[in-house]
Amino acid sequence: MRKIEHYVTGNWTTGTEEGQLIHDAVTGEAFASIATEGLDIPEILQYGRTTGGEVLRKMTFQERGNMLKKLALYLTKRKDAFYELSYRTGATKLDSWIDIEGGFGNLFANASLRKLFPNQPFHVEGDPIDLSRGGRFMAHHIMVPKKGVAVHINAFNFPVWGMLEKCAVNWMAGMPAVVLPAPSSSYLAEAVARTIIESRILPEGALQIINGTVKTILDTVVSQDVVTFTGSAATGRLLKAHTRLIQESVPFTTEADSLNASVLGEDAVPGTPEFDLFIKEVRKEMTVKAGQKCTAIRRIIVPENLVEDVQIALGKALDKVTIGDPRLKEVRMGALVSKQQVEAVRDSVNDLAKEAQIVYGNLNKIDTVGADAKKGAFISPILLRADNPFQNSVIHEREAFGPVSTIMPYKTLDEAVQLAQMGKGSLVSSIVTNDDNIARDYVVNAASHHGRILVLNRESAKESTGHGSPLPYLVHGGPGRAGGGEEMGGMRGIKHYLQRTAIQGSPSTITEITGVYQQNAKYKEAEKHPFQYHWEDIQPGMSLKTHKRTITDSDIVNFANLTWDHFYAHTDITSLDGSIFEKRTAHGYFIISAAAGLFVYPNKGPVAANYGLDSIRFLRPLYHNDTIYVRLTCKEKVDRDVASTEHPSGIVKWHVEVFDANFEDRPESEKGPKDSPLVAVATILTMVQKKQKTFVEINKASIENCLSKLTEDSKPLWGTMSAQHMVEHLEYSVRISSGEIEVNEIATPEKILEKVHATLYNYKKMPKEHPAPKQLEKELETLSYNSLMEAKQNLLDAFDNYIEFFKKQPEAKLTNIVFGELNKYEWNLFHRKHFNHHFEQFGLL
C-alpha cells in the first residue's frame, strides 16, 4: 500500500509511522496511508521563508503573474490525470471540474491581476498625501511582501481548488506557502503538487506540502507568517486562540462552514421563471459535491404561503438525482468523502430532526447505481421543514455538511432578513426575485451578516455563476460564524500577504522610493524628447518643458464650432455676470488638446499610440490672449502583455502640467494667497515599444559576416542539418519571400494561424529542435549545389532579389508556409527571426 508523500525542504518524503488509512469513498477500499511523524516543522517553515521567500520577494508583480499563467497552462494540459483520482473522493465529473479546473482558473485569474500592480516587487497604494503648505513634505503608502510563509490548513472537500485559490494569492504577493490538505482527500492535492514541483516553474521553496494533520504546525510561526484555515467553525475558533498566534500577532484568516440561506421573493410564485430558478438552484446546491460545500444552501427561506409548493417542487427535483458511482454519466451525485463523514452528517440530521421534520429522503435507505451503498460513503439527500423557525435554534446553529437543507417560512421580508441573520454570519446568501425593490431591501438589510449576496432572476440566470461559486475577483469569507475573514477578492486578497507601510519625505525622495513621480518632485530634464526613448529607458521624473503658445479669441471660437460645445463661458461673454468667469474662457478640453500639440513629438519613434487619459483637472480658467506652456513628466511605467500583431510594449503614464506663462508678470495685487501658475493637470497614457535586443538585424552585410565564419566542418549545436543544408534552407525561404517560389498550402491549422502569425512581432527566439513542416521535408532531403561556397553565393543573390522585389512592389503580400500571408514588414520580421535561429544554430552569432 502506497504512503502519501510530503514535499518539504526540497525533497519528497513520508512520515515514519504506519499512519492513517485512506479509503476510496465509492468502493470503501483502503488504497493508501498517510503519516506525518518525524517531520521537522520548524525547519520546513524556515526553509519556505528563506529558500522560497527570498526569490519570490525579488520578483516583480509582472514576473509573478506570468509565472502563475505559465503554471496554469502547464497544469491545464495535464488535467485529465487528476480526474481519476478525484473520482475516489466521491466527486462526479462536474464536481471534479469545479475543484480541478476551478483551481487552475484561480491561477489564471490571479495572474491577470499583475496588470493592476506596478512593474516592481512592491505595490504603491492609493493617492499621495500632502503634509505641508509648501508641498515639500508628503506621505505615501507602500505594500511590501511579508518575510514569512503562508500556512494553509485546508478542508477535505476541495483539495485542488482549496490549495490553489490560496496559493495563487500568496505567490502573487511574493510569499511562499506550506499547504496542509485534509487527510481524506490529500492524495489528490499531492498529485497536483507533484506536477507543480516537476514543472520547475515555481522557485524552489515556493510550495511545500504536508499531507495530513500536524498538531504542532502553529507552535513556531512568527509575526511575518500568515495562517489561513478552512473547515469547521469550532476548529477555527480553537486555532484562532492558539497562544503562538496571539504572542506573535500572526495574521489569521478563517473560512468556516456556515448556515447559508437562500430566500425566495414574495413575487416568485409557481409559474414564474424565478420560482423554477429557485428550485433548480437549491437542488444544485444540495447535490453538487454531495452538499460538501462551505457555500451550500443550508436554510431555504420561503414565503409561508409557498412552503408546500416549494416542498413538493424540491421533492420532484430531488427524485431526478441519480446517486452512485461518480464515473458513470447518468450519476448526478456521488459519495461523501468517507464513512466517518456519513456518520457525522447522520448525527447532525438527527439533531436537526428534533426541531424540524424530514420531508424528503431517508437516512437508512439509499438506492445507488453502479456502486455498493454499503461499501461506499453514500447518503440520500435530506430535506427538512421547520414550521416555527423563530422558536427553534438548532436549525440556525447546526450544520449537516452533506446534501441536507431545511425549509422555513417567513411572513414579511423583514422576517426573511431576521431568519437569515439568525445564522450568525455566513459566507453567502442569495435571494431569487424579479422585483428590484425587494432585492434592494433584502441586500441592504442583510449584508451585515453575509460575505457575499447573489440576486438571481430571469435576466441574470443564463450567465450567473450561482449561489455556491466563490470567484477569484470577489472576497470569499464572512462575518461571525463564517470566521470573520476574507480570501481572494482580487487585489484585496493579495494585500493580506503584504505589509502596508506609510512613508514620509520630500516629493523627490518619495519619487525615488516608489518609482512613481510625485507632484513637486525635482524634474529630471530629458536630453532629448521623452517620446524618442524606448520603454526601458524612460524613468519616472524624466521631464520636458515645452515652448509657449498664446490662446487667441479665434482659437476658442473655432474649437466651439468644431466640437459644437457652445457653453456660454466660451461663446456668450454677455452672460458672465455672477459666474466664476471674467472673460471669454478657453474650453478645458481645448487646453488639453493645445497641451498635446505642445508636447507631442511628431516623428515616428518608440511611442506607438495614445493609450488613453487617466485623469484630468482644470484648476482655474484661461482666457483669450493668455499664454501657456507645458511640463511633460514620466509619472509611472506599467508593463503589459502583447498577444496580437504588435511589438512588445509597455504603458507610460505621463504627468501633464499646464502653466500660465504670464503668471510671474502679473502684479502681486492681482495674485491671491492660493494662486498658482498651474492651470490644469492630467495623466495621459502612451503605448511605448520596448527595445529589440534579442536579434541581430538582418541585412546583406550581417549575412555576409556570418557566412564568412561558416565552413564545411561547421557542426550544429542542435538538429541534424549540415552547414550547406542550412544555407540552402535559408535561400529557399528567401526565394519564397520574393515570389520566385510559390507556396500553395499553409501548414499551420487555421484556428491557430492568427496566433502563430502574431508571434513574428514578439522578441522571442524560434524554438530549438522544432520539426520542419512536411512541405519543407523534401526541400531538406537533398542538396541543390555542388559546394557550400556556391550555396552561400546563391543565398546572397536570393537576398538581393528579395530586396529588389519589394522595392518594385512595396504593397505585395506573399504566403509563408508557417505564418500565412505576410507583407514586406512581416517578411523582414520573419527573416530576422529565421536567420538568427539558424546562424545561432551553427554558432555564427
623-643 in b/e form (b: 16+ CB < 10 A) is ebebebbbbbbbbbbbbeebe
Edge to edge, the sheet with strand 123-130 lists 123-130, 138-145, 498-505
Active site residue 706: no
CB atoms within 10 A of CB 273: 14
C-alpha distances (whole Å) from 737 to each of 187, 314, 620, 773, 801 are: 55, 68, 59, 17, 9
15 in helix, strand or coil? coil
User: Which residue in 632, 492, 606, 540 sits closest to 119, CA to CA?
Assistant: 540
The answer for residues whose C-beta is within 8 angstroms of residue 581's C-beta and 6 or more apart is 569, 621
Which of 604, 637, 672, 591 minimizes the C-alpha distance to 119? Answer: 637
Are the C-beta atoms of residues 21 and 339 closer than 8 Å to each other?
A: no
Question: What's the alpha-carbon Rg for the chain, to the nearest Å?
Answer: 34
Do 20 and 212 form a contact (C-beta atoms < 8 A)? yes
Q: Where are the alpha helices (DSSP H) in 320-452?
A: 339-352, 413-421, 436-446
Decide if 343 is catalytic: no
Which residue in 460, 351, 452 sits closest to 406, CA to CA?
351
Edge-to-edge strands, sheet with 453-456: 357-360, 382-385, 404-410, 299-303, 261-264, 429-432, 453-456
Give the 3-state secondary structure of residue 359. strand
Out of 5, 255, 281, 826, the active site residue is 255
CA atoms within 13 A on the CB side of 433: 24
The answer for residues whose C-beta is within 8 angstroms of residue 145's C-beta and 6 or more apart is 53, 56, 57, 121, 122, 173, 174, 175, 497, 498, 499
- All three cell numbers of 773, joined, read 513542416
Bridging pattern class, strands 299-303 and 453-456: unpaired
Residue with C-alpha cell 490529500? 186
- Report DSSP letters for 417-462, one per residue: HHHHHTTS-BS-EEEE-S-HHHHHHHHHHHGGGBS-EEEE-TTTTT
* Catalytic residue chosen out of the listed positions 167, 294, 634, 706: 294
Scan for cell 437562500, then name that residue. 262
Cell numbers at 11, concatenated: 525533497
Question: Minimal CA–CA distance to 737: which of 665, 638, 828?
Answer: 828
Q: Which residues are catalytic?
A: 255, 294
